[in-house]
Structure 1
Amino acid sequence: MTTTTDRLDLQLAARLALQCLDLTSLNDADTAADVTALCERAQTAFGPVAAVCVWPRFVAQARSMLPPEIKVAAVADFPDGALDLARAIADIETIAQAGGDEVDVVLPWRALQAGQRSEVEEFLAEVRHASRPLTLKVIIESGELADPELIAEATRLSLAAGADFVKTSTGKTPVSATPEAARVMLREIAASGMAAAGFKASGGIRSVADAQAYLQQAADVLGADALQPRRFRFGASGLLKDIEAVLSGQASQAVTSVY
């Protein structure tokens, strides 16, 4: 396991969080105007975010509004994570045809809880096949799985299927990202030997202090080189405001810590 003794200060954490941010809007009532506002926010005075994440129906609009360096991500089998392969593949096809770059698909976590391991494996394999060459992030819904061994198993299955990232949460459940779940997932990534595999923390991350803690965890487990968009992401809608406050020299607007 690679470790680092260097601690990330708040300014550095804010810069890294901006570069690794999937700026997200996944409200049921989202409109084209909301997506326009999201895309405008994605290009900040301090630099661009890594990606915007929207519903599949908004991918074409987002892609038309953004420069190539900002990726367009959209969700599949979201948010419930049903064991519904046809639905997931239909979502993926919509995303790909509209010019999307990345897909965040929900692992059928209830099926995994029920012991349907082979069905989940088949789902993930088919999703990976259907989504190439898009970047695939698999949402394991760690807050609902809860049990560290189930979180580890979901991570292992996702990586074995060829996921580019494993992601904590949809942000639609009572418990989203937690340091405990992140630690389990990061250790599984390190143990997998997959040097390109990434981690995405999503749900409930609203301050740079929150982000700083997850970044430090990733640096400690995967090494500081992992703190770049190709291996680390945050999924958030409210984090950008605090990032901009910190980078502009103001006090953090939402100083909390997940530690």
Structure 2
Amino acid sequence: MAKITAALIKELRDQTGAGMMDVKKALTEAEGDMARAKEIIRATGIQAAGAREGRKAQEGLIASTVVEGGQGQIGYAVELNSETDFVAKTPQFVEFGKEVIDDVAKADASNAEQVDAAPSKSGTVKETVEEAGALFHEHVKVGQVARVEGPRVEIYAHRKSVEMPPSIVAMIATDEAGAQVAHEVALQISAMSPKWLSREDVPADVVESERRVATEKSQAEGKPEKIIPKIVEGRLNAFFKETVLLEQQYVKDTSKTIGDLFKQAGGKALAFARLEVGKGDEE
């Protein structure tokens, strides 16, 4: 049995991030065997993480990166949730986010299932997340995931305060010419939360629902029957201007739309994504 020294305890704490008592207990159980002690700490941490899974994890950060791809650039963004903003702003959690987004980019993952299965230093990202739960003593999970691709990709990461990590990430993929205005458009996406790129991207059932609501509202207001179709179209256009990126008014110059910005640059927007901490599907 190896002697359990202060130096051995420190080394295991540095490697695992576990607490002093957990490290001492694991080394004692493993009779000083470092490799076995790590296994014990990991198993204990995963078991504890499982017990925490019923707790809400709606704080956290959005990690993002842009890498060079075969046809241009690829942008990735992943929401990593914790239970408290106290944990989310720690350097360790921020570094954890960097590790995960690097693994996501290497695996070219585009959804939560692919992120979980992506290779990581602990085997998979899912296992890395489980270990993070043990380290931070909170329920930690992967939330929203986004991937955009095009000749150029611009990312804007918004922090609510200087001490917090990014809580909103906006990504926009453009052609080469469109890159001239991509940063401004990423700011717009962050601030105005569009849902679709163009009017054609709005699902038919959503359009039909909005049309029905606008019709019923106009009838309830007692509008003359003959002008209701015109009123409905006006309300539909207002809906598109609010939710469609290319039809939104540019926040810095409301005489222009985002579509106008791209026309002036001679470029095109190809795809976008916006992730905000706590705004994904409910657990």
TM norm structure 1? 0.24
Q: Which has the higher helix share?
A: 2
Q: Larger relative CO (CA 8 A, sep 6+): 1 or 2?
A: 1
Give the TM-score of the pair, scaled to structure 2.
Answer: 0.23
Answer with 1 or 2: which has the greater Rg: 2
Question: Whose strand proportion is higher, 1 or 2?
Answer: 2
